[in-house]
Chains A and B, each alone.
Chain A
């Protein structure tokens, strides 16, 4: 799982004038959307999900997700966004270039309430079409583990199984500085 930690890079901005509330506008960095694994998943024709988790302190945590599905016949991307439990209107984008441009520009409105937050940690995870098969494949290899404790062959099986891992989802993390 790729973990890119982009400390101190400002990938978002703050909109202050939303009544009495502070609203943080999160944008997905272009390098995330251009990543080859993300691109491969987006173009699979199956639903690809980007989940993000925002944390500033114990009291502030927000979650959201973006689902993208490429329709091969129309060559369009169907995009849905859910932020903090609220589903936004689905969007249709006609090219990969436009998809990246739109997602990097549109941003996700995150309401921070009246909290004064200096910085936010963003964790974004690509959920592949099927996420948990690695563990299951390993269980397949180690299915006798519970029945043959102690034998070296079992140990070897276990070690082999745990060494066989498929490529999993990728994950990106970065910090957003909200200080004025």
Chain B
């Protein structure tokens, strides 16, 4: 329905007016350099600009990491017919509290519990992200859930350069909640990882992005992407093609997005995940006390993803399992189809005691099919697991809370 109305909008907008802008004025609280804002706006005065030009400029301002919102308005200029473009910028808050929760797991027929129905309580995971501008062009961000530190540095200059570094923190005791089968005293993330990216606005709405990652040890990757934003029917479309180099191989993928309605990614990655695989194996070795298996990714992963209100994703993982001494036990393939649908749109956005945000109800479901060459891997090595759940998300610029309830009908899998 809204699409039909948007078409009407477009019809009305056919004779959309243009404005002669003699001056551009920014109104903000001063933590962001005006040079950055002007550079990202991509508009100069004096000039005659259409509403579309102004909309695209606003769009570019809003993509800055320091900016929460930007509103435009026109004021009278020095002469009749001339306008001053006033851009009111709301800068992002310096800190954000996040409270996530592991899913509340309802299990119908747990083979390890002799058919009892089990219920695992959710574990809240508090995160705090702290952002602090450095000078007027740079931003430092720090996030920690306790067992891992994640820092990110960004600087804007004809684009945005950012670098992120994650490094180990204090180990956090945690348990696997499902039926209390095992307790994991600690999970260490024992490698640092450095991510860098540079989004460069070449001209207008044409973008170039380069990013690279290096993990302690050998793993590294380089990604080059081109992006092009086009406006259509009052929505922003973005097309992106990217190439990724990861040591011995080349990945390629195409992304297209259309506002919030649809995005799609088709990609295939073939890689030798030496260090990444080793890290996962290292972490899994700490879980091995109850399953005596280590899974090492063999290195191919394919996925199709659709985004927007409906998110669908298909992943295929191939891995090889070994015992604790590294002796191969067999190969293992897992197909994972995941659906996630946002529902109810934003239910609430009201300023209540300073809270501005929305509450959203989502439907989530997944089907996971595993094939194993090992007959002793699980009671049933080849199984299909399906689950369906509801997710409730409340968010505001300063707080995000996420809770979900998942019902698993065939939980014949060790990892919840």
Any B CB within 8 A of the CB of A133: yes
Determine whether the beta carbon of A146 is less than 8 Å from that of B195: no
A61 to B347, CA, bound (A): 22
Determine whether the beta carbon of B1 is less than 8 Å from that of A63: yes
| 8 Å CB interface, A123-166 against B | 125, 127, 129-137, 139-141, 143-144, 146-148, 151-153, 156-157, 159-160, 162-166
Any A CB within 8 A of the CB of B80: yes
Determine whether the beta carbon of B346 is less than 8 Å from that of A168: yes
Tell me which residues across on chain B come within 8 A of A129, comparing CB atoms.
51, 54-55, 58, 71-72
Tell me which residues across on chain A come within 8 A of B259, comparing CB atoms.
132, 135
Any B CB within 8 A of the CB of A49: yes
Determine whether the beta carbon of B12 is less than 8 Å from that of A167: no
Shortest beta-carbon distance from B366 to chain A in Å? 15
Question: How many A-B residue contacts, CB cutoff 8 Å?
Answer: 189
Any A CB within 8 A of the CB of B265: yes
A166 to B141, CA, bound (A): 19
Contacts A45-B83, A63-B4: A163 and B395 contacting too (C-beta < 8 A)?
Answer: yes
Determine whether the beta carbon of A162 is less than 8 Å from that of B350: no
Any A CB within 8 A of the CB of B143: yes
Any B CB within 8 A of the CB of A53: yes
| 8 Å CB interface, A80-131 against B | 80, 82, 85, 87, 125, 127, 129-131
Contact mask for chain B residues 32-60; partner A; CB cutoff 8 A; 1 contact, 0 none: 00000000000000000001001100110
The residue from A67, A127, A133 contacting B59, defined by CB atoms under 8 A apart: A133
A146 to B268, CA, bound (A): 11
Determine whether the beta carbon of B166 is less than 8 Å from that of A152: yes
Determine whether the beta carbon of A165 is less than 8 Å from that of B397: yes
| Segment at the interface with A among B108-116, B234-242, B378-386, B408-416 | B234-242
| 8 Å CB interface, B280-328 against A | 305
A140 to B67, CA, bound (A): 12
Determine whether the beta carbon of A163 is less than 8 Å from that of B396: yes
Tell me which residues across on chain A come within 8 A of B63, comparing CB atoms.
133, 136-137, 140
Tell me which residues across on chain B come within 8 A of A140, comparing CB atoms.
63, 65, 199
A137 to B62, CA, bound (A): 6
Given A45-B83, A63-B5, A136-B63, 4 other A-B contacts at CB below 8 A? A45-B75, A69-B17, A129-B51, A139-B263
A-B CB contact pairs (8 Å), 10 listed: A3-B349, A46-B72, A53-B5, A82-B12, A127-B9, A133-B58, A136-B229, A139-B238, A146-B253, A168-B346
